[in-house]
Amino acid sequence: MWNKIYSIALAIAVLVMASLDFYAYSWLQSPTRPTDVVQNYDYFAGWAWLFLWISSIILLALANVLYWRAQQAWALWTTFLYFAFFVVVQTFLLESMYNTFRNQSFPGQDNFSAIPFLGVILCVVAAVIVFFDQFLVSRLHKKMFGVAPEEISPPVDEAI
């Protein structure tokens, strides 16, 4: 049951994130005034970042429940892949297109952006968080329920 709940939540999160990123992308392709494009791109990109953070936290909580109940870590790492994929889309793809648009529409402004570098750092930090989350949940589970005893073999009488 938790597999289905997680899968449905992941599918909804992917659809919403893809829609928000598409809206931001479509505004960069818009032939309207550059100031309107910048304003609307910032609006949809801001909502996309907010939704990415909230949905990743919810998916991580569901993945923790799944890992606790079934000892299956695939959901934890799928949550990380979801987060990393959309961080890469937003920081490398959309942000580079946004900087190109700003350079063409507003020449003479310094449009250097360190956001792609921050995106890489964010992905590494997220991987570390998921790794330690998996470690902590597995340790807590072992501490609470113990490890299943292995088959006890009869003592062997060794002659010296």
The total of structural domains in the chain comes to 1
Q: How many CA atoms lie within 13 A of 56 on its CB side?
A: 22
> Is the residue at 77 inside a domain?
yes
> Is the residue at 32 inside a domain?
yes
CA gap 141, 119 in Å, rounded: 33
- What pLDDT band is residue 149 in, cutting at 50, 70 and 90? low
> Is the residue at 128 inside a domain?
yes
| Full-model pTM | 0.83
> Is the residue at 56 inside a domain?
yes
Domain that holds residue 80: 2-134
> Is the residue at 141 inside a domain?
no
Instruction: Please write the tens of the pLDDT for every residue from 13-30.
Output: 999 999 999 999 998 887
Instruction: Please write the tens of the pLDDT for every residue from 102-142.
Output: 778 777 777 667 788 899 999 999 999 999 998 998 888 88
CA nearest neighbour of 134 among 93, 77, 57:
77
> Is the residue at 71 inside a domain?
yes
> Is the residue at 140 inside a domain?
no
CA nearest neighbour of 116 among 98, 95, 99:
95
For residue 69, pLDDT beyond 90: no
Question: DSSP assignment of 23-66, as one string?
Answer: HHHHHHT--S-HHHHHHHHHHHHHHHHHHHHHHHHHHHHHHHHH
pLDDT at 22: 93
> Is the residue at 143 inside a domain?
no
